[in-house]
């Protein structure tokens, strides 16, 4: 059995950002693009997935070759990318490969950041756009629902999403190693760098008590403090406000040390030697690494954060191996359901066909032998029906024994169709 499914796409692995940008679809124009694509030769149902990291066209098709050709031509026209250049960047999947790819994408196994949680929501969003555009029917709906189920199983049965793989979330992890519960803690952000802001955002989400911002630009300090419903403090009073904070994040463009060893000692004197964490996300560094030798001073720079991220990525990769097995199980299950749907009419038609053959021979016998006693005729008809059943039974049993192997089952189905001339109407 063929699944009549085809997919083409390019992503962060196959195409640079410039190509991905040119191939992308503007959200407002996506419904129109879907309705145009579904009218192309060989396309029966379709959806488009378009983010900064990937552009993919997924369709139910009359046959894979024609469907792939139509989708590639459509993407070439819309992106205005040279045909040969586009062809080099594209990946193409059909049948079971396409099913597996959709399930892996939904489960975040094909993402730039392995296990990122946002991808499932994005897939659902593009699915809903296609539903609203009227380009998704029963087939793709079933496929996408199965993909959502697979993704939920991966989240439920693995820990792939539980390990922090961003620098900002790694900062939270390191702070928790020192303080445990971060509620009630105070944060001082020095500077207004993007990474510092992201780290503070993650820390704020843990329920810290207060966020203060010190910056050479008072206006920049006030704007960033407002973002966190915090307080802007004078940059010149860095020592004072650091001493009143449990976590200090430095993220500036300065080439000088803002917290040297002597200033760190002064901060600790004011803190009465209670623990403090310096998270220095600046390059070059704003905090002297040697401050970490002072009792109860914990110092982390971008390399330390990167080490946490890499260790967590390794854990995610371990979990990904289990996730891949779950995806494969769900692909098997989806394909088996489709094969069962395809098998049912064949079984019915096979039984009918054998019964017809037997009935033709019985009618020929009655015609040649002349009139028969009604009781004898009924007994012969029952006997012929039983013979037909006994002929069909081992054929059907053998067919059902191939449920575990879709390729073998498809080959066997094809053999039965050819021998008994089945489903001729649907093939014409």
Q: What is the pLDDT, as a whole number, of residue 257? A: 94
Q: What is the pLDDT, as a whole number, of residue 169? A: 82
Q: What is the pLDDT, as a whole number, of residue 149? A: 96
336: Cβ contacts below 8 Å, ≥ 6 apart? 403, 406
- How would you write the pLDDT of the chain (428 residues) with one tens digit per residue? 567 899 999 999 999 988 999 999 999 999 999 999 999 999 999 999 999 889 999 999 998 899 999 999 999 999 989 888 899 999 999 999 999 999 999 999 998 888 888 899 999 999 999 999 999 998 899 999 999 999 999 999 999 988 777 777 888 889 999 999 999 999 999 997 777 788 888 888 899 999 999 999 999 999 999 988 999 999 999 999 999 999 999 989 888 999 999 999 999 999 999 999 999 998 889 999 999 999 999 999 999 998 988 888 899 999 999 999 999 999 988 887 777 666 777 888 888 889 889 989 988 888 888 877 888 888 888 898 889 889 988 988 888 787 667 667 777 878 888 888 886 544 43
DSSP state of 274: -
Domain 5-157 sits in CATH 3.30.460.30: yes
**Closest by CA position to 68, among listed 96, 88, 98, 30:** 98
251 in Cβ contact with 196 (< 8 Å): yes
251 in Cβ contact with 282 (< 8 Å): yes
Q: What is the pLDDT, as a whole number, of residue 407? A: 65
Which residues share a beta bridge with 134?
Answer: none
DSSP state of 259: B
Domain ranges of the chain: 5-157, 182-309, 335-427
Bridge-based pairing of strands 210-214 and 247-250 is unpaired
Cα–Cα distance measured from residue 393 to residue 396, given in angstroms and rounded to the nearest whole number: 5
DSSP state of 237: G
Write down the pTM of the prediction.
Answer: 0.67
Residues identified as active-site:
52
One DSSP character per residue, 282-316 reads -SS-SB-GGGGGSTTEEEEEHHHHHHHHHHHHHHH
Domain 182-309 sits in CATH 3.40.50.720: yes
Q: What is the pLDDT, as a whole number, of residue 406? A: 62
252: Cβ contacts below 8 Å, ≥ 6 apart? 190, 191, 192, 193, 215, 258, 282, 286
CB atoms within 10 A of CB 162: 12
């Amino acid at each position: 059995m063929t699944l009549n499914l085809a997919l083409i796409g390019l992503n962060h692995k196959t195409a640079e950002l410039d190509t991905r940008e040119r191939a992308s679809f503007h959200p407002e124009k996506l419904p129109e693009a879907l309705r145009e694509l579904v009218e192309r030769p060989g396309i029966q149902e379709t959806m488009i997935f378009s983010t900064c990291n990937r552009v993919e066209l997924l369709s139910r098709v009359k046959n894979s070759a024609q469907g792939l050709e139509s989708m590639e031509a459509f993407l070439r026209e819309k992106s205005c990318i040279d045909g040969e250049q586009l062809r080099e960047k594209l990946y193409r999947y059909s049948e079971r490969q396409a099913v597996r790819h959709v399930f892996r994408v939904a489960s975040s196994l094909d993402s730039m950041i392995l296990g990122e949680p946002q991808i499932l929501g994005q897939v659902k969003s593009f699915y809903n756009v296609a539903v609203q555009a009227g380009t998704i029917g029963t087939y793709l709906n079933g496929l996408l629902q199965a993909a959502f189920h697979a993704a939920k199983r991966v989240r439920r049965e693995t820990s792939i999403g539980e390990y922090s793989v961003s620098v900002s979330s790694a900062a939270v992890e390191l702070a928790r190693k020192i303080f445990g519960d971060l509620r009630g803690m105070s944060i001082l952000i020095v500077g207004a760098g993007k990474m510092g802001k992201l780290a503070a955002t993650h820390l704020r989400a843990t329920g810290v008590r207060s966020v203060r911002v010190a910056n050479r630009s008072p206006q920049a300090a006030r704007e960033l403090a407002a973002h966190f419903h915090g307080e802007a403090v004078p940059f010149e009073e860095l020592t004072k406000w650091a001493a009143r904070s449990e976590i200090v994040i430095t993220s500036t463009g300065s080439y000088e040390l803002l917290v040297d060893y002597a200033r760190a000692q002064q901060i600790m004197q004011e803190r009465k030697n209670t623990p403090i964490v310096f998270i220095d996300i600046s390059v070059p560094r704003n905090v002297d690494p040697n401050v970490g030798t002072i009792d109860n001073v914990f110092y982390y720079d971008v390399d330390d954060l990167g080490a946490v991220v890499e260790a967590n990525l390794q854990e995610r990769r371990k979990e990904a191996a289990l996730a891949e097995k779950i995806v494969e199980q769900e692909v098997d299950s989806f394909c088996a359901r489709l094969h069962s749907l395809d098998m049912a009419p064949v079984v019915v038609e096979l039984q009918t066909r054998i019964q017809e053959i037997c009935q033709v021979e019985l009618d020929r016998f009655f015609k040649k032998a002349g009139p028969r006693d009604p009781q004898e005729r009924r007994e012969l008809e029952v006997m012929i029906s039983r013979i037909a059943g006994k002929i069909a039974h081992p054929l059907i049993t053998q067919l059902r024994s191939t449920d575990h192997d879709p390729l073998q089952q498809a080959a066997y189905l094809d053999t039965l169709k050819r021998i008994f001339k089945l489903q001729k109407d649907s093939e014409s």
